[in-house]
Amino acid sequence: MELREALERSNPFWREGRVRRELCPPTKRKALAQVIGLLEYNRIVRIIGPRRTGKTTLMYQTMQHLIDSGVRPESILFFSVDDPLFGGGGKDVIGRVLEEYYGNVLKKSPSKQASFVFIDEIQKADGWSLWLKSYFEKKYKTKFVVSGSSAARLKRGSKESLLGRMYDVFVAPLSFAEFLEFSSKTGSVELEVRRALDEYLLAGGYPEWFQVKNIPVWQNFLVQDVMKKAIYDDIASLYEVRNPAKLEELLYLIASLESQSLSTNTIAQSLKTDFETAEKYVSYLKEAFLAYERRFYSPSGEKVLKKNIKLDLSDSGMRNALLKEEKQTGLSIESAAAKHLHEAAARNNYALYYWKNGKEVDFVLKTQKKLLPIECKYQNEVGDADAKQLIAFCEKFKCPQGILITKTQKKRVDFGGTEISFIPLHEFLLTQF
């Protein structure tokens, strides 16, 4: 097949005037506004995140926004490097496609014609970052938006050559607010929101849940299509992991011990490996956005490094899938709260910790201005005594406020100058930090 024909088949909106509706659903995620806003700047936009979170859909929606804003469809190019139309990747695929596009479609030089180029699965193209760097440094009127299913490969491939030339948009599994939008529910009817919360805690936030709606089938999908592909197709080959089954074991360990603090030595012993390898495995899961880390809070950096860590899976549905749990549990609650806070921390350049002094505070959110301790007590009856550890933290570190996550109770109590807000989980997950 001629390259020109391949481009036309990959970009049917050139003749149809719009992106096909099945590729461009009407429900829009918050990340869409980020991508659109970044197109105004002289940077490459890189969309990153775990597998199956809707990164390609985000590209199609951005393309449709451009068309709706008056951009000629022919000034937009989309192609996926792994598409058989383009040889499934390999050497010089980006160069060949761009040469054909500018020479025989636009018939203008990229230095004279403004255009938007969307490249999916870009990590599968040899030398992709050098091609983008070349176009960027020549000051062409080309805006690149790139993405791919392998977060680790995408980050590693551009670490040096595109430093300072790229903005990242992170696409995580759905937040609870987005989950409500996808399920056509609003935050106004409390009973509906509570039902949606139960569904969210069990299924998690991967968007394809709304096409499946069957827990056993869905959990198999999460394990096979998300977790195993990330481990065996991405991490194992990128980092030359000799025994990738150990990474899978580590994920099961995190799922089963979520909310418990772990030492690297404990992880190493559980996996029957050495300290250095265990440390690397944890970093690989973080690179692939499969897990997050919480360290012990202390003003002393040395103490932070010496204490055990907590590891959180990036999605409560993934945790339930790994453990084959078909009902949400207390650990699902902490997992969902952890996801919400980790993403707030990443978005705002905050840090997330835990604290322990006899009893434990689940989360300590450190912003530029304050510390905010947060404790989960998702049970029918929550009393003032349940705030004891929060109060202890606030008194020790001179924090004026803390949050106690509850099932239904909502109130504010002043404990001698320390204000504790009792907030139901569904409201907490809709709170912006």
Taking only the tens place, the pLDDT of each residue in 50-79 is: 999 999 999 999 999 999 999 999 999 999
Structure confidence at residue 187 as a pLDDT band (50, 70, 90):
low
Q: Is residue 148 domain-shared with residue 190, that is, in the same domain?
A: no
pLDDT at 154 over 80: no
Supply the mean pLDDT for the chain. Answer: 91
Q: Is residue 165 domain-shared with residue 180, that is, in the same domain?
A: no
Compute the distance between CA of residue 197 and CA of residue 219 in angstroms, rounded to an integer. Answer: 18
> What is the DSSP code string of 60-129?
HHHHHHHHHTT--GGGEEEEETT-GGGTTSBTTHHHHHHHHIIIIII-S-TTTS-EEEEEESGGGBTTHH
Instruction: For 95, list phi and psi in degrees, rounded to 5.
Output: -60, -45
The residue among 115, 137, 170 that closes a domain is 170
Residue 187 or 190, more confident: 190
Three-class secondary structure of residue 1 per DSSP: coil
Q: pTM of the prediction?
A: 0.91
How many domains is the chain partitioned into structurally?
Answer: 2
Query: What residues form DSSP beta bridges with 296?
Result: 354
Q: What is the DSSP letter of 22?
A: G
Q: Is residue 384 domain-shared with residue 241, that is, in the same domain?
A: yes
pLDDT at res. 415 = 92
Strand 115-120 to 76-80 pairing: parallel
Q: Is residue 198 domain-shared with residue 160, that is, in the same domain?
A: no
Compute the distance between CA of residue 294 and CA of residue 245 in angstroms, rounded to an integer. Answer: 24
388: exposed, middle or buried (C-beta count within 10 Å: 0-12, 13-18, 19+)? Answer: middle
pLDDT at res. 220 = 97
pLDDT at res. 235 = 92
| Residues 267-271, mean pLDDT to the nearest whole number | 96
The residue among 119, 137, 170 that closes a domain is 170
- Residue 17 falls within a domain, yes or no? yes
219: exposed, middle or buried (C-beta count within 10 Å: 0-12, 13-18, 19+)? Answer: buried
Query: What residues form DSSP beta bridges with 418?
Result: 415
pLDDT at res. 314 = 94
The residue among 115, 139, 170 that closes a domain is 170
Q: Among the listed ranges 2-6, 158-162, 257-261, which one has the minimum average pLDDT value?
A: 158-162
Q: Is residue 204 domain-shared with residue 269, that is, in the same domain?
A: yes
- Residue 379 falls within a domain, yes or no? yes
pLDDT, tens digit, for every residue of 332-371? Answer: 888 999 999 999 999 999 999 999 988 899 999 999 989 9
Q: Is residue 142 domain-shared with residue 195, that is, in the same domain?
A: no
Of 317, 315, 397, which Cα lies nearest the Cα of 353? 397
Instruction: For 280, list phi and psi in degrees, rounded to 5.
Output: -65, -45
Tokens of 227: 């977790």
- Residue 383 falls within a domain, yes or no? yes
What is the CATH number for 17? 3.40.50.300
Structure confidence at residue 184 as a pLDDT band (50, 70, 90):
confident
Compute the distance between CA of residue 299 and CA of residue 306 in angstroms, rounded to an integer. Answer: 13
349: left (phi over 0), alpha (psi -120 to 50) or beta: left
Q: Is residue 156 domain-shared with residue 189, that is, in the same domain?
A: no
pLDDT at res. 170 = 93
pLDDT at res. 357 = 87
Q: Is residue 357 domain-shared with residue 395, that is, in the same domain?
A: yes
Q: Burial code of 88-122, b = ≥16 C-beta within 10 A, e = fewer?
A: ebeeebbeebbebbbeebbeeebeebebbbbbbbb
| Residues 283-295, mean pLDDT to the nearest whole number | 93
Strand 351-357 to 359-366 pairing: antiparallel
| Radius of gyration, alpha carbons of the chain | 23
- Residue 433 falls within a domain, yes or no? no
| Residues 104-131, mean pLDDT to the nearest whole number | 90
| Residues 219-227, mean pLDDT to the nearest whole number | 96
- Residue 316 falls within a domain, yes or no? yes
pLDDT, tens digit, for every residue of 19-58? Answer: 999 999 999 999 999 999 999 999 999 999 999 999 999 9
Q: Is residue 360 domain-shared with residue 244, that is, in the same domain?
A: yes
Compute the distance between CA of residue 413 and CA of residue 383 in angstroms, rounded to an integer. Answer: 11
Identify the domain containing residue 260 by its residue range.
Answer: 176-428
Q: Is residue 211 domain-shared with residue 155, that is, in the same domain?
A: no
pLDDT at 156 over 80: no
- Residue 159 falls within a domain, yes or no? yes
Q: Is residue 251 domain-shared with residue 116, that is, in the same domain?
A: no
Query: What residues form DSSP beta bridges with 359?
Result: 357
pLDDT at res. 326 = 83
Q: Among the listed ranges 333-342, 379-388, 413-422, which one has the minimum average pLDDT value?
A: 379-388
- Residue 209 falls within a domain, yes or no? yes
Q: Is residue 97 domain-shared with residue 194, that is, in the same domain?
A: no
